[in-house]
A and B are shown apart, each in its own frame.
Chain A
Amino acid sequence: MLTYAIRRLLIAIPTLFGVVLLVFLMVRLAPGDPAVLLAGEFATPETLRAIRERYGLDRPLPEQFLLYLGALLRGDLGESARSRRPVLEELKTYFPNTVELAVAAILVALLTGIPLGILAALRPGSGLDLGVMTLALLGVSMPVFWFGLLAILIFSVNLGWFPVAGKGTLAHLVLPAVTLGVNATALLARMTRGTLLEVLSQDYIRTARAKGLRERVVVFKHALRNAMIPVVTVAGLEFGSLLAGAVITETIFAWPGLGQLLVGSILARDYPVVQGAVLLVATSFILVNLLVDLLYAWIDPRVRYD
């Protein structure tokens, strides 16, 4: 197991290198002179020259890349071209907030989606089952943007139950977490229902029932544990994508996360921040995937990687 983990980590390195190279190229090949964007629309040629000099934008591309790579290996992610703060500092300010939101969202998904899926699987074909499946369909189809704004209008403006936006108390976390988690909730509900139904039709379940075990024990002790394996996997992967994809939710709820930083930086061609942020997201994604695979092997004794 350990060797497997180490091997996976080693493979991650060339992957990350590829990510760095790709982002570096994409950001620089995008049309639009970054010096003009950074200097502002009223800047004179002198200011543009000064900015180009400062950020090495006038050097040849391969040289810029090597300089960046060298700095990266020393732990220096450069400084934001807009705010002139170290990129690492910017990331440290915004990323934890995104993690907080993603964790809250996945918790919402786990605590709501899985029970709903279980209920539906225990009464297949019933009205409850149909209801849950319809809700799930809505959940994956609803645009996050629309849902978020609707949530604000109903629960904040009209009912006054929650604050409108921003980060502060636990109350501030509720609406954004629910909004971000809706898709994942629906997904997990469907998955849970599907895998549990499949497991419940297995022979060993029939054996358990024949042994005379109470239905609750059959379901929760035997069936569920096996059904959870793929669900956990999917939940882990969803978490990884929540980390990367919270931009819309963060924008609507003014949540100070990485998504906001990233969008602003892309529009302003703030290269160092874009590169740093994407690298961070890619690294997190790789780590989360690795953890999910290890978790999977730990839960299901049949899975062996070596």
Chain B
Amino acid sequence: MRKAFFALGLALLATAWAQQRLVVAQGTDPITLDAPLAQDSPSATVVTHISETLFELTPEGKIVPLLAEGHSFSDGGKTLTIRLKRGITFHDGTPFNAEAVRFNLERFVSRELASPFAFLLSELDRVEVVDTHTVRLRLKNPFAPILAHLTHSSTAIQSPTAIQRFGAQYRDNPVGTGPYRFQAWQKGQFVDLVRNENYWGEKPPIPQVRFIPVPEGTTRVALVETGQAHVAVRIPPQDIARLQANRAVEVVRTPSLRTIYIYFNTQRPPFNDARVRQAINHAVNKEEILQFVLGGIGRISDAPIAPGIFGYASIGKYEYNPQRAQELLRQAGVSTPLRVTLHCPTGRYFQDIQVCEAIQGQLRRVGVEATIQTLEWGAYLQETQRPLRENRIQMAMLGWGTVTGDADYGLYPLFHSSQWAPGFNRAFYKNPEVDKLLAQARISTLPQGRQQLYREAMARIWRDAPWVFLHSEVQVTAVRQEVQGFIVHPTERYLAYKARFR
């Protein structure tokens, strides 16, 4: 009898102890925990728990001060003065102050670090320390999106002492100001974080978090089903139904800031005629694709950028209308069947090749014969990136994640005529009015003004149809019932600092 109680006690103790740690199953192991170098979602996810940015992009799309206390623009928008919060220290005791901010921002744009995100602060001329808790950013040109760019996890402020002490090893020993501190990283197996007991803000309810890499989606699902993990990211579509029937697990859908589209080469026939591009938009049945190919996981685009991004507005709709499509093709003087090549990646985006195949079938009905050409991702990027003279692409599918949550980043690189490939305007789109609006929106620091400018720019882009506007992605995550408050962020990061066990 006593043995039974003892065993029961142990079991309860074990469960209680187990409830001290949240286990999150991601697709891959983080590559680095050094914020400016953390490109992939798993790395950025872990970094966000440890190191914090000056400003935060909330899941609802608002920019709020985080390590900053307040800010002001001056000098026609060329100077940004940021007041920092007081009384904050890094996990190693180093004080968080203006000097630390300067150190980090200068390191961020430094050539030797070669951060893939250095472009986010390309307008930064220099950082000045005004006093212990005030920094001044001098910009080369007025740049309104700077605040949004400072919400990006790569701009997080890390401990200068630790960076200098660890040198190249810092990426394995991150030190920030965040709600969790780094404890251990067994490469390929797990990353362990523990609660920061001296956190300046609201302490997270759960004392420990473990991130494990599990490449196979079905295995991630199995881990959550058995309770060996509490959260599984990116659920494969075929496992969703089974999970929804399981009462121990909740399936959470969160919109992502990533938009999927097919762009046209707008400088070459046949797609140099806007009518042909609009025709294709009418020929594609997006509802059908959403329902049957995406299994309902996605949101049909009504703008070139997704909701949740500052500057987003619902612009329009290209309803499925094959007759209108054929009429437009006729008006443009196109003889059917029109033979084109559609480039498509495989396995890069959710159901990418399947969507292309569905579109191929839909285009056939209006007399457009599309041949699908697929390439491995590295080769695909290379092909799509070629400058106009060497570019052989007619139509290609791509995705764009507006990582800053600001419309400038979602529109300027893609639609401004100065950004033609090898930049990101691979459609070679050029509209002087759009150029002017986008440039103006960068400079204006008044939110309402900017929103209006983006609305006008997007209305023109929508009409010109340099893209087939498809859909924005939706993230599907599995979370165990006993976990409450876990956040799936539209920037594809998975946040545990407000989570608690019921």
| Chain A interface residues toward B at CB < 8 A | 30-34, 36-37, 39-47, 50-51, 54, 82-85, 90, 93-94, 97, 149, 152-153, 156-157, 160, 163-167, 251-254, 256-257, 260-261, 264, 267, 269
Complex Cα distance, B111 from A260, in Å, reads 31
User: What is the chain A residue whose CB lies nearest that of B424?
Assistant: A42
Contacting chain A: which of B114-122, B317-325, B452-460, B470-478? B114-122
B214 — which chain A residues lie within 8 A by C-beta?
A: 165-166, 254
**Is A41 a contact partner of B381 (Cβ separation < 8 A)?**
yes
User: With A93-B188, A167-B189, A251-B215 in contact, is A156–B222 under 8 Å at CB?
Assistant: yes
Q: How far is the CB of A164 from chain B (nearest CB, A)?
A: 5
**Is A164 a contact partner of B226 (Cβ separation < 8 A)?**
yes
**Is A166 a contact partner of B212 (Cβ separation < 8 A)?**
yes
- The 9 listed contacts between A and B (C-beta, < 8 Å) are A31-B376, A36-B382, A37-B377, A40-B39, A42-B424, A85-B172, A94-B187, A256-B188, A267-B377
Which 3 residue pairs are nearest across A and B when measured between Cβ atoms? A32-B378, A256-B188, A31-B379
Complex Cα distance, B119 from A252, in Å, reads 37
Q: How far is the CB of B40 from chain A (nearest CB, A)?
A: 9
Chain B window 39-65, contacts with chain A (Cβ cutoff 8 Å), 1 for yes, 0 for no: 100000000000000000000000000
Q: How far is the CB of A181 from chain B (nearest CB, A)?
A: 19
**Is A47 a contact partner of B382 (Cβ separation < 8 A)?**
no
User: What is the chain A residue whose CB lies nearest that of B403?
Assistant: A42
Complex Cα distance, B228 from A160, in Å, reads 11
B39 — which chain A residues lie within 8 A by C-beta?
A: 40
**Is A47 a contact partner of B219 (Cβ separation < 8 A)?**
no
Q: How far is the CB of A101 from chain B (nearest CB, A)?
A: 13
A44 — which chain B residues lie within 8 A by C-beta?
A: 118-119, 122
User: What is the chain B residue whose CB lies nearest that of A250?
Assistant: B215
**Is A256 a contact partner of B189 (Cβ separation < 8 A)?**
yes
Complex Cα distance, B28 from A281, in Å, reads 22
A83 — which chain B residues lie within 8 A by C-beta?
A: 31-32, 171
- Tally B residues with Cβ within 8 Å of A: 46
A164 — which chain B residues lie within 8 A by C-beta?
A: 219, 222-223, 226, 228
A257 — which chain B residues lie within 8 A by C-beta?
A: 188
B380 — which chain A residues lie within 8 A by C-beta?
A: 32
User: What is the chain A residue whose CB lies nearest that of B378?
Assistant: A32
Q: Is B92 an interface residue (CB 8 A)?
A: no
User: With A36-B385, A47-B116, A149-B218 in contact, is A269–B378 under 8 Å at CB?
Assistant: yes
Q: Identify which of A40, A152, A251, A261 contacts B222 (C-beta below 8 A).
A: A152
Q: How far is the CB of B502 from chain A (nearest CB, A)?
A: 22
Complex Cα distance, B215 from A257, in Å, reads 12
Complex Cα distance, B226 from A93, in Å, reads 28
Q: Identify which of B213, B376, B382 contacts A254 (C-beta below 8 A).
A: B213
| Chain B interface residues toward A at CB < 8 A | 28-29, 31-32, 37, 39, 111, 114-119, 122, 168, 171-172, 187-190, 212-216, 218-219, 222-223, 225-226, 228, 375-382, 385, 403, 422-424
Starting from the known contacts A84-B37, A164-B222, A267-B377, 11 additional A-B residue pairs (CB-CB under 8 Å) come to A30-B376, A42-B116, A45-B423, A51-B114, A54-B114, A82-B32, A152-B222, A165-B223, A253-B219, A254-B213, A264-B28
User: With A36-B378, A156-B226 in contact, is A260–B215 under 8 Å at CB?
Assistant: yes
User: What is the chain B residue whose CB lies nearest that of A38?
Assistant: B116
**Is B219 a contact partner of A165 (Cβ separation < 8 A)?**
yes
B403 — which chain A residues lie within 8 A by C-beta?
A: 42
A40 — which chain B residues lie within 8 A by C-beta?
A: 39, 116
B213 — which chain A residues lie within 8 A by C-beta?
A: 254, 256
Q: Identify which of A42, A82, A254 contacts B219 (C-beta below 8 A).
A: A254
A42 — which chain B residues lie within 8 A by C-beta?
A: 116-117, 119, 403, 424
**Is B187 a contact partner of A252 (Cβ separation < 8 A)?**
no
Complex Cα distance, B214 from A253, in Å, reads 7
**Is A47 a contact partner of B222 (Cβ separation < 8 A)?**
no
**Is A39 a contact partner of B116 (Cβ separation < 8 A)?**
yes
Complex Cα distance, B187 from A39, in Å, reads 22
Q: How far is the CB of A297 from chain B (nearest CB, A)?
A: 38
Complex Cα distance, B385 from A41, in Å, reads 10
Complex Cα distance, B213 from A288, in Å, reads 31
B119 — which chain A residues lie within 8 A by C-beta?
A: 42-44, 46-47
**Is B228 a contact partner of A31 (Cβ separation < 8 A)?**
no
**Is A157 a contact partner of B225 (Cβ separation < 8 A)?**
yes
**Is B216 a contact partner of A254 (Cβ separation < 8 A)?**
yes
B114 — which chain A residues lie within 8 A by C-beta?
A: 47, 50-51, 54
**Is A260 a contact partner of B188 (Cβ separation < 8 A)?**
yes
User: What is the chain B residue whose CB lies nearest that of A33?
Assistant: B382
User: What is the chain B residue whose CB lies nearest that of A41?
Assistant: B381
Q: Identify which of A31, A46, A51, A251 contacts B375 (C-beta below 8 A).
A: A31
Complex Cα distance, B188 from A160, in Å, reads 24
Complex Cα distance, B222 from A94, in Å, reads 24
Complex Cα distance, B381 from A273, in Å, reads 21
A33 — which chain B residues lie within 8 A by C-beta?
A: 378, 381-382, 385
Q: Which has the most chain A C-beta neighbours within 10 Å: B171, B378, B424?
A: B378
Q: How far is the CB of A262 from chain B (nearest CB, A)?
A: 12
A253 — which chain B residues lie within 8 A by C-beta?
A: 219
**Is B215 a contact partner of A37 (Cβ separation < 8 A)?**
no
**Is A254 a contact partner of B226 (Cβ separation < 8 A)?**
no
**Is A254 a contact partner of B215 (Cβ separation < 8 A)?**
yes
Q: How far is the CB of B170 from chain A (nearest CB, A)?
A: 10
Complex Cα distance, B426 from A41, in Å, reads 13
**Is A84 a contact partner of B32 (Cβ separation < 8 A)?**
yes
A97 — which chain B residues lie within 8 A by C-beta?
A: 188
**Is A251 a contact partner of B216 (Cβ separation < 8 A)?**
yes
Q: How far is the CB of B435 from chain A (nearest CB, A)?
A: 19
Q: Identify which of B187, B189, B379, B424 contacts A166 (C-beta below 8 A).
A: B189
**Is A36 a contact partner of B216 (Cβ separation < 8 A)?**
no
Q: How far is the CB of B124 from chain A (nearest CB, A)?
A: 13
Q: Identify which of A41, A93, A156 contacts B187 (C-beta below 8 A).
A: A93
A264 — which chain B residues lie within 8 A by C-beta?
A: 28
Complex Cα distance, B403 from A156, in Å, reads 38
B376 — which chain A residues lie within 8 A by C-beta?
A: 30-32
Complex Cα distance, B37 from A40, in Å, reads 10
B422 — which chain A residues lie within 8 A by C-beta?
A: 45
A160 — which chain B residues lie within 8 A by C-beta?
A: 226
Q: How far is the CB of A86 from chain B (nearest CB, A)?
A: 9
**Is B187 a contact partner of A47 (Cβ separation < 8 A)?**
no
Complex Cα distance, B189 from A167, in Å, reads 7
A166 — which chain B residues lie within 8 A by C-beta?
A: 189-190, 212, 214
Complex Cα distance, B381 from A42, in Å, reads 11
**Is A46 a contact partner of B118 (Cβ separation < 8 A)?**
yes
Q: How far is the CB of A47 from chain B (nearest CB, A)?
A: 6
A254 — which chain B residues lie within 8 A by C-beta?
A: 212-216, 219
Q: Identify which of B111, B216, B225, B382 contacts A31 (C-beta below 8 A).
A: B382
Q: How far is the CB of A96 from chain B (nearest CB, A)?
A: 11
Complex Cα distance, B422 from A37, in Å, reads 14
Complex Cα distance, B468 from A207, in Å, reads 83
Complex Cα distance, B380 from A261, in Å, reads 22
User: What is the chain B residue whose CB lies nearest that of A268?
Assistant: B378
B117 — which chain A residues lie within 8 A by C-beta?
A: 42
Q: How far is the CB of B355 from chain A (nearest CB, A)?
A: 19
Complex Cα distance, B172 from A108, in Å, reads 36
User: What is the chain B residue whose CB lies nearest that of A93?
Assistant: B187
